[in-house]
Structure 1
Amino acid sequence: MTDALCIGGTRFIGRHTVEELLAHDYSVATFSRGESGDPFADTENVTAVRGDRNERADLEAARDAHDPDYVFDFVGMVPEHVETATEVFADCEAYVYVSSGSSYAEQDVPMREGETPLHEYDRSEDDADPMESVPELYGPRKAACDRAVFAAADAGVNATAVRPMLVYGPHDYTERLDYWIARVLADDRVLVPGDGGSLFHRAYVGDVASALRLVAERGEAGAAYNVADRNTQSLRASLDRIAAAADTEVEVVTASARELAAHDLDASAFPLYSPAPLLAATDDLAALGWDSTDPVEAYAATVADHRASDRDGSEVGPDPEATAAALDALGE
């Protein structure tokens, strides 16, 4: 049986990755501080390891106790984290760092690994709280972590980076897609900025999990791999997918920047909206044998999970009273 250590692994992408690994006959150890609960508490072939990934001694103890073949790092937020981890796990068969499409400094259409420039980063920012610096430092930090992966590979470590675009699916604590699902389930008419054609490339979480496994097993040291749905879709099309999965109908009401501003709304307040196309090439990952899930299946699972949860996206979307006023003004 193949042994994996997931640094993180109990919330969203990590949770699905553990399930993916178990489905492929892995034994998994999840390494975390235990603050987010443990969905695998009673699961065979999953061991919970308590520790702080910022403490080298804790990582070394996890390595020595579990001797993992593959290491998946979900929570490395500054390059020092990655530098330490690639040293501690240098002798493992593969170390896979979970990066982000936000590493890219330019919005090429599509963004390509090894071609589209990455953000620059000032290491003097390492001490800033990662959770207090989004979005200003998130992308640059992820890019710096990618460079740490590349440096480790140059030193002989089988280290790779995986760059998901915006991830959606069951157990998504960010609630970005939940905002739209809740609107479709509750309302006949849904306000959308622009013409509804916004293209913000997304990645179904189950596909991110399978990508991580395949990159660990087949990836090239020092490479980065984008992850995103093979066929992207507009925001309007996404709402249609949600409605179909929920067996309902939705009227998409579009609003220009001027129409939104009349009600103190801004397009940037709407989750999953981008004024320019944000797309990522996935050919390198597909060459490893990866493919994405049919959107019908992906949205069905996502809507079902939303209905079973208490998430409503109310904390991540625009002001509901202003949105209702804009819908009233735009008429039937």
Structure 2
Amino acid sequence: MSIHLMLVAAYLPDDVVTQSQKLALMKICDSADDETRLSKPGMKRVRAWVGVGEKRCTTIVTDLVAKGLIERVEVGMLGRRAVYRVFPLGVPAIPSTDDLDARFQAADAAPKNPRLARPGVARAAPSKPAMTHEDIDARADLDAMSLAAGEGVKEAGFPRGNPDDDQSRVPPGEPKGFPQGNPKGSPGGTPSFPSSTGVLPFPPTPAAGAAGEPRGCPKHSTPAASCRGCKTNPRSARAARDRDRAEAERQSQREFMDNWHADQARARQVAQDRPQDVEAARLLARQAHRAAREGPGDARSPKK
């Protein structure tokens, strides 16, 4: 245990480490040796100090390695803890009271959100901290009195009713740039689109004209563009043809395999019933092979 290294880690500023990284570093320093600065804290102990999961704890330790605050000496394995060296680039000094005062003054003077900071605007002084519950009750009563008098922050929500005359946000009268009333010749009612002039009750399929398919179902006396009910539209016809083609191909493959198995079965039956014929056929095959090898075209035959 190294109290000195743990105190050094505890006093690191916020712009160097986050809160989770500081807790992990303090645990690693707590298990370190004062002379060698080697530490074997164990992943479970670091997780218990930080209060995060295993993957998040590994990420935090990796961030500490990237910042140069620790370095891995030995990688942890199953049944063996990892070994770290704390502050490999040098142990920082513990800040004095004056250093802490300067750090906090700079932090208090800096804006909470730098993106919304406005130069030249003085920040309001912080309110006096409440000492007892009576201070909090008195502050709440003061806020209620301010709201009743129309001062301070109003209640959050949407405005109720129309604004007063002095608070009108829209100028009286109609805005300029818009036509006044209905245009000439307008019936003043809801506009409607003209009815379809097509012969078919429904539009044809999108790919009917491009693919050269008939516009409508030929199985009906009256042409119909969509026949999903009887499944005779062009899309269903193409799908049915594809299914029939695939089924015919599978049937031909099954017939071929059945015929092949039947031929093999007949050959095995012949070999069992007439073994002398099989032996005679094998003898003829050997003689033909020997004659082909000893023929004039064979390179190993003697020259005459």
Instruction: Find the structure with the greater CA-based Rg.
Output: 2
More helix by share: 2
Fold in common (TM above 0.5): no
TM-score, normalised on structure 1? 0.17
Q: Which has the higher strand share?
A: 1
Normalising by structure 2, we get a TM-score of 0.18
